[in-house]
Amino acid sequence: MSASSLAKAVVDGILTGGVYALMAAGLTLIFGVMDIINIAQGALIVLGAYMSYVLSVHLGIDLFVGLIITIPAFFVLGVAIEWAFMRRLREQDRTAMSILVTYAVAIIIEGLLSVIFGVDYLQLRASYVDSTFHILGFYLPYIYVFGFLLAIGLLGVLYWILYRTHFGRGVRGSLQNRTAAELIGVNVNRVRAVSVGIGVAVTAAGGMVFGATNAFNPSSGYDLISRLLSIVILAGLGSIAGALVAALFMVTLEDVVAVVWSPVWATLVYYASLIVVLSFRPGGLFGSAAVRAQ
């Protein structure tokens, strides 16, 4: 283990962590507003990667330009999923049912992708995916930096929507107390639909960056969702700022463990830290009091 490989692990972890933060923010937003864990988030990210693949290979559209098409498309998809499945669940057994319903959505997506594209691994290609630059004694593809900047930009947009718009106030109100928000005139159904739309829309961008930095196939979603779930549960469900911190921390920790110990055991840090933290703080590190009380 050299200082350079450790530095590479940290830089790599922070850059990748930014993208995970974006994807985790979407997951935790959906949870906060809907009280639903969207297991399909992983499959949606993979779907996003395939959409970018189709646009870039078959239509020759640049990966980042393609997002102008895929992000709105995924927003609509999210609203449709909310309308078709999530809205119809009854309040009393929502926890259990929502996990199973979104799991079912995930395997339908996985099935469709395997039938259409097969199960071979693909990776997104572009000039900035293949070319690298030199920093701190190692080489890094440009896509890591571009992906990180994209994630930061979209998180900024998310922040602006949530904290600077009237709609965002409704979302935050619904996060804190659904009934009270409804009583003061927030259209909770609309807030929920749009929040799920936003939560799904970010997976289009996350999927593109994931697909450019990793080889993926239709079942890559399991790996992603288990990491993202660990991140958002560790942070405390519903806490967006917590998800950002936890994503950066966990992904960096994973990369460092891969260098210091062994790459095959690196993902263990997610599950192990999840179990350790929850044994002492069942609500997660930044969980709100309301979530903890449930």
Partner 1 sequence: MRLRPPARALLVATAVAILGVFPLIFSSPTSTSIAVFTLIFMVAACAWNMFAGSSGYIALGHAVYFGCGAYTLTLLANHLGFAAGWGVFALVPVAGIVAGLIAVPTGLIALRARRHTFVVITIAFMFIFQLAAFNLGFTGGSSGLQPPTPLWSVDTYNLNFYYVTAVVLLATFVLTWLVRRSRFGLQLLSIRDDEERARGLGVRVARVKLSAFVLSAIPVGMVGGIYAYFLGQIFPQFAFDPLFDLSIALMAFIGGLGTLVGPLLGALVLESLQQYFTVQYGSSQAYLIIYGALFLVVVLLLPRGVIPSLEELISRARAEPPEQGPEEPGRTADTIEAVR
Interface positions with partner 1 (CB under 8 A): 31, 37, 85, 88-90, 95-97, 99-101, 103-108, 110-112, 114-115, 119, 218, 222, 226, 229-230, 233, 237, 264-265, 267-268, 270-272, 274-275, 278-279, 282, 284, 294
The distance of closest approach from Cβ of residue 113 to partner 1 in the complex, given in angstroms and rounded to an integer, is 9
119 versus 260: smaller Cβ distance to partner 1: 119
Instruction: Give, in degrees to the nearest 5, the angle at Cα 44 between 38 and 50.
Output: 170
The distance of closest approach from Cβ of residue 82 to partner 1 in the complex, given in angstroms and rounded to an integer, is 14
142 versus 222: smaller Cβ distance to partner 1: 222
| Burial of 7 from C-beta contacts in 10 A (0-12 / 13-18 / 19+) | middle
226 versus 288: smaller Cβ distance to partner 1: 226
The distance of closest approach from Cβ of residue 115 to partner 1 in the complex, given in angstroms and rounded to an integer, is 6
263 token code pair: 């790459």
The distance of closest approach from Cβ of residue 39 to partner 1 in the complex, given in angstroms and rounded to an integer, is 9
141 token code pair: 């593809």
The distance of closest approach from Cβ of residue 243 to partner 1 in the complex, given in angstroms and rounded to an integer, is 14
97 versus 161: smaller Cβ distance to partner 1: 97
38 versus 56: smaller Cβ distance to partner 1: 38
φ, ψ of residue 140 in degrees (nearest 5): -140, 135
104 versus 136: smaller Cβ distance to partner 1: 104
Is the sign of the CA dihedral 209, 210, 211, 215 positive or negative?
positive
Rounded-to-integer distance, Cα 136 and Cα 3, Å: 10
194 versus 237: smaller Cβ distance to partner 1: 237
3-class SS shares of the chain: helix, strand, coil, % to 5: 80, 5, 20
269 token code pair: 């840090």
Is the sign of the CA dihedral 88, 93, 98, 100 positive or negative?
negative
The distance of closest approach from Cβ of residue 177 to partner 1 in the complex, given in angstroms and rounded to an integer, is 18
CA-closest candidate to residue 192, choices 82, 63, 282: 82
Q: Can you give the length of the chain in residues?
A: 294
Beta strands in 34-158 (DSSP E): 132-135, 138-141
The distance of closest approach from Cβ of residue 111 to partner 1 in the complex, given in angstroms and rounded to an integer, is 3
